[in-house]
Structure 1
Amino acid sequence: MEKAKEKLGFWALAGLIVGSMIGGGAFNLPSDMASGAGSGAVLLGWLVTGIGMIALALSYQNLSMRKPDLDGGIYSYAKGGFGEYMGFNSAWGYWLSAWLGNVAYATFLFGTLSYFIPAFNNDGNNWPSVIAASLLILAINYLILRGVKEASLVNLVTTIAKIIPIAIFIIIGLFAFKADLFSRDMFEVIKLAGESGTQSVGLFEQVTNTLMVTLWVFIGVEGAVVVSGRAKKRSDIGKATVMGLLGTLVIYVLITTVSYGIMPRAELAGLSKPTMAGVLEAVVGPWGAVLVRMGLGISLLGATLGWTLLAAEIPYVAAKDGVFPRLFARENENGSPAASLWITNLLVIGFIIYSHFSMSSYVAIYYMAGTAIILPYLFSALYQLKLVLTGEGYKADENKTGDLIKGIIATIYSAWLVYAAGMSYLLMVSVLYAPGFIFYLMSRKEQGKKAKTSDWVLALIIAGFAVYAIVLMAQGVIAP
């Protein structure tokens, strides 16, 4: 494994984080935010998300230093703090989120390319798009099989390349920004179309409406923690996490702010994907739309690569630790997690095909990806709190107040995300969580152990929600 364990430095780690976070979501922020919130609520949404994510990132930084033996990061914290089955569910949920995110990216990519290649449709889910997306996933699979370090360097290059059109958008947008348009009805009640007709939405619900969008564009903040076992220096993990988060937060706030200062909220909400293209086109003409779509193509390629790295690493590390079945720990001669890669990417391709038949939208898929990752985030925050309260990993006279505040904020933020996800998506994601218990039982059997009674009880509860969700989906009450 020596060749495989080629270590990643600070810039490679930072590139992995930024590359994973700045994907397709950044290019669709104007309409995704405008569809549920006014400009004032959006600013508050970013404030809430910024505080919550910074607290979460600082918690990860603290945990990586207090518990250097937990190299699985986001899953190992749930396992270390709350037991084997909760650790497994955290790993399973993160894995679900990662490969569902790649389905969303692939769908969005070929929907974007339809602007240049009419054979692909705008939703990215016709057969030419499905076939092309599947071939792309297989190509990325081949690249990573050649070595993790090589793939991370490609990801760093694509990260730099996609920042350029975003920077141009922000600079031009700042010159075209109209303060009076942005401030118009900032904190007013807005009217949104709902299942029972047009509804009035107040400030609190508007802010809540932004949280799943902001969560989606920040998923990946824990990327350096996930691959912590491959980091050259332990200290680089926390630095890369915090720097990547702060830099990305500034970019996102600027994208959203300038968009609300260029077009009214209702017009932003009605733009077709990618909506940054529509905003820039309104200012400079057609070449702006072309520039954004080119940048989006690069961005989605880089994000898909970055998330494939993370998606394969989670079950691989979990299998090495005995949480996932040993199958996921198999490597090739280059030290890449070959079995985990193949299983992950075949699932991605399978769900891309399913999305074609179910006509699932990009937004619906990323909502599912965001919902799946809430549990791992929540239990990481709770573990931060647990360490502070028990004093584990601290010196007897060490001041823990700062870490306590981080843990409380991160926990409140993660709990709010559960509320923001909504019951429909929580139920649908339970359908994907439920089969995980089979793999958990397999891993326990390989270690000569049995599941605890509490594990069975929790598994039956999840299965009950899954069955209820399937019934509701069959009746057409809920749908992705």
Structure 2
Amino acid sequence: MAETAQPKKMNLIQLTFIVAVNMMGSGIIMLPSNMAKVGAISLLSWLVTAVGSMAIAWGFAQAGLFNSRQGGLAAYAEDAYGKDGYFTVFFLYFLSLVIANVAIAISAVGYLATFLPWLSSTPIATCIGVIILLWLTTIANFGGPGITGKIGAVTVWGVIIPVGLLSIIGWFWFNKETFNAAWNPQNLTLVQGMGSSITLTLWAFLGMESAAQNSNAVENPKRDVPLACMFGTLGAAVIYILSTTVIQGIVPNAELAASTGPFGLAYAKMFNPTIGWIIMVLAVIACVGSLLGWQFTVAQTGKAAADDRMFPALFSKINSKGAPIRGMIVLGIVQTLMALMTISPTLNEQFSALVSLSVVTNVIPYIVALSALAVMMRNAGVSGGKYTLNMIVVLVAMLYSTYAVYASGATAVIGGVLVMCVGFIIWGFIAPRFVNTKTISA
């Protein structure tokens, strides 16, 4: 009898590529404009974030090897904090993805404004455009998963190709005087410059925590998963740093800070308006494709939690095509409220406000999940040099994450606290499902 063919597994290079692509998505395309408001000195934030992000990536790679249960960050937290830790991490991470969807929609509207100028004419017009796009991508998912994943896998290249290409060929148009003039218009100190854009740069790395989720499909997970996490994060960091640096030497700082489509503007300066227009179209396609996929992913995340009795039951209801429509509608309403609550004088300001809130609600789960690694290693019998190394790296990751929360600003931190309060209110109603009803003796 012939042996059943085993599915081919990924090697280190393939997994590294997947990690880098998963992070790069649409998170980068508005960053040059927002960083230009501070000046090119904000590029120093990349150095801090690159180190912190690689430490976080290493921590999650290790955690994924010790805990392969469904739930990701929440499952890691459960090892140390039980079901309440699971829910807290899940809820904050879930909300951070919802907030991130609104920020992605704003990125798309920013590039669409090139073709439909009225979208950036007033804050109300921008908000209307964002809400329309959120609901269009929500409704588009009512037909079930279908080709959503395939669409996202193709459209993501609408960002990766222009950004990656700019990192290589953009230096032929780099002007040293333009870069020097943009360096420090606000006269910040070196320390202030390094911390000025921490939330914006970290935003571009969000998603690295998903790297360990592919461990079952890897040839040598114990070796390749940690290495792929590090190499993928480092690769993305190189492209991020190169692209946002070179663009500061191509586009004058004032123009870059005011732009709602910075990469399209850069290509227009390098070549001609037609090429810039093509880059704008690619960016819009990438954002819409990314948003389409994330809308379904967030709804599916809510459904999985509801199936585990960790979330209201309405999120688990699906139609005949497998789409959790009720959950999607609730999420659409929440995203609409987010868009209305963060309405700002300019599109860039609204984007920055949402990014800061998303970072706060994302890195708090990072800290909780990473702090559970010590328990995971003890349960797995890990000791000696490996235990010490992992704890040192995780300590760096948690300290960086804590600094990122601080650097997000008072408004975002207050918003994160309010979100946590809502989470505990919801948990108060859900917790009895998991409590042992036996009386505990004093």
Residues in 2 aligned to 1:20 and 1:340: alpha-carbon distance in whole angstroms: 25
Mapping 1:17-416, distance limit 5 Å: 21-39=23-41, 42=43, 44-69=44-69, 71-121=70-120, 125-126=124-125, 129-130=129-130, 132-142=132-142, 145-147=144-146, 150-179=147-176, 182=179, 190-192=184-186, 200-225=187-212, 232=217, 235=221, 241-242=229-230, 244-264=232-252, 266-267=253-254, 270-333=257-320, 335=322, 337=324, 339-355=326-342, 361-388=350-377, 391-395=378-382, 399-416=386-403
Secondary structure at the counterpart of residue 222 of structure 1:
helix
Secondary structure at the counterpart of residue 416 of structure 2:
helix
* Letter paired with 1:250: V
Higher mean C-alpha deviation, range 409-418 or range 20-29:
20-29
The one-character-per-residue Cα deviations of 1:243-287 (angstroms, maximum 9, x if unpaired) are: 5433322221111121222245x4355332122233332332322
Residues in 2 aligned to 1:322 and 1:163: alpha-carbon distance in whole angstroms: 38
Quote how far apart the aligned CAs of 1:213 are. Answer: 0.6
Q: Is the 8 A contact 2:138 2:328 kept in 1?
A: no
In structure 2, the CA distance between the partners of 1:371 and 1:395, relative to structure 1 (3 Å rule), is closer
Q: Is the 8 A contact 1:99 1:344 kept in 2?
A: yes
Question: Which residue in 2 is equivalent to 1:442?
Answer: 429
CA RMSD of aligned residues (A): 3.5
* Letter paired with 2:30: N
* Letter paired with 2:250: I
In structure 2, the CA distance between the partners of 1:333 and 1:394, relative to structure 1 (3 Å rule), is farther
The one-character-per-residue Cα deviations of 1:302-328 (angstroms, maximum 9, x if unpaired) are: 321343244234333333444334443
Secondary structure at the counterpart of residue 204 of structure 1:
helix
Secondary structure at the counterpart of residue 71 of structure 2:
coil
Identity of aligned residues (%): 25
In structure 2, the CA distance between the partners of 1:304 and 1:423, relative to structure 1 (3 Å rule), is same
The one-character-per-residue Cα deviations of 1:18-70 (angstroms, maximum 9, x if unpaired) are: 5653344412222222222434x51x32221111111111111111111123x
Quote how far apart the aligned CAs of 1:290 are. Answer: 0.9
Aligned residues: 423
Q: Is the 8 A contact 2:122 2:345 kept in 1?
A: no
Residues in 2 aligned to 1:123 and 1:8: alpha-carbon distance in whole angstroms: 53
Q: Is the 8 A contact 1:57 1:242 kept in 2?
A: yes
The one-character-per-residue Cα deviations of 1:430-477 (angstroms, maximum 9, x if unpaired) are: 223322223212322334569xxxxxxxxxxxxxxxxxxxxxxxxxxx
* Letter paired with 2:65: M
In structure 2, the CA distance between the partners of 1:245 and 1:153, relative to structure 1 (3 Å rule), is farther
In structure 2, the CA distance between the partners of 1:142 and 1:115, relative to structure 1 (3 Å rule), is same
Q: Is the 8 A contact 2:175 2:250 kept in 1?
A: yes
Quote how far apart the aligned CAs of 1:427 are. Answer: 0.8
Higher mean C-alpha deviation, range 336-345 or range 253-262:
336-345
* Letter paired with 1:423: A
In structure 2, the CA distance between the partners of 1:83 and 1:351, relative to structure 1 (3 Å rule), is same
Residues in 2 aligned to 1:228 and 1:334: alpha-carbon distance in whole angstroms: 26
Q: Is the 8 A contact 2:123 2:344 kept in 1?
A: no
Residues in 2 aligned to 1:174 and 1:87: alpha-carbon distance in whole angstroms: 47
Secondary structure at the counterpart of residue 298 of structure 1:
helix
* Letter paired with 1:300: C
Which consecutive unaligned segments of at least 5 residues does structure 2 have?
Answer: 1-6, 438-442
Higher mean C-alpha deviation, range 418-427 or range 132-141:
132-141
Quote how far apart the aligned CAs of 1:220 are. Answer: 1.6
The one-character-per-residue Cα deviations of 1:391-425 (angstroms, maximum 9, x if unpaired) are: 23234567323312321221121111121112221
Q: Is the 8 A contact 1:211 1:420 kept in 2?
A: yes
* Letter paired with 1:173: G
Higher mean C-alpha deviation, range 80-89 or range 334-343:
334-343
2:413 pairs, out of 405, 426, 432, with 426
* Letter paired with 2:32: P
Q: Is the 8 A contact 2:40 2:245 kept in 1?
A: no
In structure 2, the CA distance between the partners of 1:172 and 1:268, relative to structure 1 (3 Å rule), is farther
Secondary structure at the counterpart of residue 379 of structure 2:
coil
Quote how far apart the aligned CAs of 1:372 are. Answer: 1.5
Which consecutive unaligned segments of at least 5 residues does structure 1 have?
Answer: 1-6, 193-199, 451-480
In structure 2, the CA distance between the partners of 1:317 and 1:15, relative to structure 1 (3 Å rule), is farther
TM-score, structure 1 as length reference: 0.76
In structure 2, the CA distance between the partners of 1:332 and 1:371, relative to structure 1 (3 Å rule), is same
In structure 2, the CA distance between the partners of 1:176 and 1:158, relative to structure 1 (3 Å rule), is same
Q: Is the 8 A contact 1:271 1:278 kept in 2?
A: no
Q: Is the 8 A contact 2:9 2:218 kept in 1?
A: yes
Q: Is the 8 A contact 1:179 1:261 kept in 2?
A: yes
Higher mean C-alpha deviation, range 29-38 or range 99-108:
29-38
